[in-house]
Chain A
């Protein structure tokens, strides 16, 4: 294959890095020249991964069709029927390509304790946030964590911006 292959962990890292940039700060961070060229390639790969994911959600779950439609006048029963298509298909994409697991196994509403040195990426305390850990509180949301990223191999020569080709039946 013409496109260089990236290891799985590298692709995950790039995808997360790109997502962080897109969400947080659109201005590129100043970097030395030698890094820049390499980084542009990385960014392209990460963008491609994001587009691939969108294409998967559209292909399997018609997500783009659903979001792009004006639903203000639709009644909830009609909306519900369409939501089943989106739910079934997009859920399949998640299960196959981005399998998820809750960060906390305890049920919502359970009392849990955050030990000193807890991982603030994974656990976020709020409310009467005073003193120092251990913190004990109620689990409001168990969190989500992606256990694996299994995106399709990008194929050289294919334009990933095409989320769905226009269909013309002869």
Chain B
């Protein structure tokens, strides 16, 4: 393959996808030529438009629903599913055919992510698709859009970085990688979204970032997307005279984002209308949500405005007299968003969990507490050792905001004020704000910069795996009927294992039967930085290790007969792509290697 001409970054967001690229030939050092792909997509039947964002929605049309030809794209493609703006618009009227938030399902441990389960509420007649297939659709659309704009430089031949949430576990990262390979993108690297946001900040500074941070700084990245909140801490150190960035902590997967805020405003105005005797249907509520978003942005942008009308059009052709009018006041906006999502709480507060209803259906594990600030408090408390032993709170010295939500200065100011109040008792100065640009596109732009810097040299954020990983090993105690055997955890991957590090296998041996699938329980720990490969934990607190998807391996007969028991050891490595690779190898030194795969078929399907 020839050398790639471009460095491309893809942001596979929960609500939007974007693609940015850097033309290496026209870039010199830290002065780079960065571009944004405008993505052709249907915006109405028979209407093709291009925008910087591809809404991450798929629509599975009924065969008689749309005229043939109305779905023609600029490249040969099957008419179903529809991706992008038209999918979102059609799904408004026909939600049983709309696939949304596929990315959140991709990391949902309770469901089979390779099985056609979406849309979850669809009647049997609708041909559903899997979360994995949905991810492939978005990637395929971006790829086709790129290839038709750059026929001589196909996407598969460019240096490519694809972003994932920092909170994605190894199985969800592997699924993202599988989706990319399935559409023919073989060579790419995965990058955590908050890191991408920081890369974008670095790229935009054209070298000036070195004057804005110093050794000892701890940068807190708060990335609030449409559907998720992603937190990371990145430390600034010196190595051989140059500044070095290390990602030292990532937060949990929090399903809470900007869309929740718009919806909260809409529900507030709906209650106001209901009090006046006006009931809204689903379609009007959706319009109200859009109207609230516009009013929110206008009110945040102009502090002199006290109130803005929000008018909902009727669905029929009668517009005058059949429209519903209400208004959003500044007091309502601040009470709902600033106090609701960013209240001034103490540093030791924790997200509040509501008791779940007795009958829970499988659904996305949305955050129970909408206060992003409490999730932030819990994150900084959990990672307090990033500050110093015995500290009560990690002490960020700088904050980088990302996501369209933070276009509102009032929200950024509130977060900064709360952080300053938390840090004041520790004697630490208030953190400063790093000036971010392009809050909607920063992740794609940062990803492109990452792909560029990988090839042409440039600053890299280090950090390796955010967790240590373990397999469950049954204890040696004699089995007692009715009592689960004691479980020990064998460390396979230490925290912070970097890509390309030499693989190491613990001495522990497992006797596996050839030809039969064998499962291991699998655990992750985000705080146990001292565990080394081969360490065997006999006990741990439930807060320390969280159970992830099981892993499984089937030894194929090669020089062994089916049924034979072979002693193997397990070994882990982080691939260049950024995924975790587990391998079983025979203890006798033979050269067979068996892949140990994450079981992404979902817990409830087999229990």
Interface residue ranges, A against B (CB under 8 Å)? 1-2, 52, 55, 59, 62, 65-66, 68-69, 71, 74, 78-79, 81-82, 84-86, 88, 152-160, 165, 167, 169
Contact = CB atoms under 8 A, between A and B. Distances in A.
Contacts of B49: 152-153
Nearest to A59: B44
B294 interface: yes
Given A79-B320, A82-B311, 17 more contacts: A59-B44, A62-B319, A65-B319, A74-B320, A74-B321, A82-B319, A82-B320, A84-B309, A84-B311, A84-B325, A152-B47, A152-B49, A153-B48, A155-B47, A155-B48, A159-B67, A160-B46
Which one of A69, A78, A79, A82 has the greatest number of beta carbons of chain B within 10 Å?
Answer: A82
B69 A158 contact: yes
A156 B71 CA distance: 10
The number of chain B residues touching the other chain, given as a range, is: 20 to 34
Given A85-B323, A152-B49, A68 B317 contact: yes
B69 A55 contact: no
A86 B48 CA distance: 23
Given A66-B319, A155-B72, A85 B47 contact: no
A91 to B, nearest CB: 11
Interface string B545-561: 00000000000000000
A52 B48 CA distance: 11
Interface in B74-102: 74, 93
Contacts of B43: 152
Contact of B46 (A65, A88, A158, A169): A158
Nearest to B312: A85
A69 B48 contact: no
A152 B48 contact: yes
Contacts of A55: 44, 47
Contacts of A86: 319
Nearest to B68: A157
Contacts of B42: 155
A58 B397 CA distance: 50
B604 interface: no
8 contacts: A65-B318, A82-B313, A82-B320, A82-B321, A152-B48, A154-B48, A155-B48, A158-B45
A68 B318 CA distance: 9
B320 A155 contact: no
B311 A85 contact: yes
A156 B72 CA distance: 8
Contact of A158 (B70, B93, B323): B70
Given A153-B40, A157-B72, A158-B69, A69 B319 contact: yes
